[in-house]
Structure 1
């Protein structure tokens, strides 16, 4: 299941997000979307967890959590969101 994570601090790294997701199960990848000109985080990214029940547990537990001073929003990625994130 593809998950979208929004509201990330510009300081939050891919490794930090992977560490947040890891307790819930296998994570195939996390892609932090970055500005192509500056290389800075755009504050959101996409993860893929192959087990839907583990992904749902991660969404339920992490949505609304404060990470690096920011309240993150975690949800199942919709097809249009996932596509737009992959293009960046």
Structure 2
């Protein structure tokens, strides 16, 4: 399942998100979205977990959790056609 993670602090790294989500199961991939030229975080990213049960547990536990001083917004990612902007 692909999971949207929003409201990330600018210093949040892929390694940090991997560690956070691994507490709930296997993490297939993590990507913090960044500005093309500056490399600065856009404040959101995606985590892919292979198991639906583990993904749902992570979403439930981490939505609203404070990370680097900001409450995370965590939910199932929408497809590109109807996704977030």
Q: Give the TM-score normalised by structure 1.
A: 0.90
Aligned residue pairs total 83
Say yes or no: does 1:39 pair with 2:39: yes
**Distance in 2, Cα, partners of 1:55 & 1:65:** 15
Determine the structure 2 residue equivalent to 1:12. 12
**Distance in 2, Cα, partners of 1:43 & 1:14:** 12
Determine the structure 2 residue equivalent to 1:66. 66
Q: Give the TM-score normalised by structure 2.
A: 0.93
Please give the residue correspondences for 1:47-58 in structure 2 after superposition, counting only pairs within 5 Å: 47-58=47-58
Q: Comparing both structures, which one devotes a greater share of its residues to helix?
A: 1
Gaps of 5+ in 1: none
Determine the structure 2 residue equivalent to 1:78. 78
RMSD: 1.3
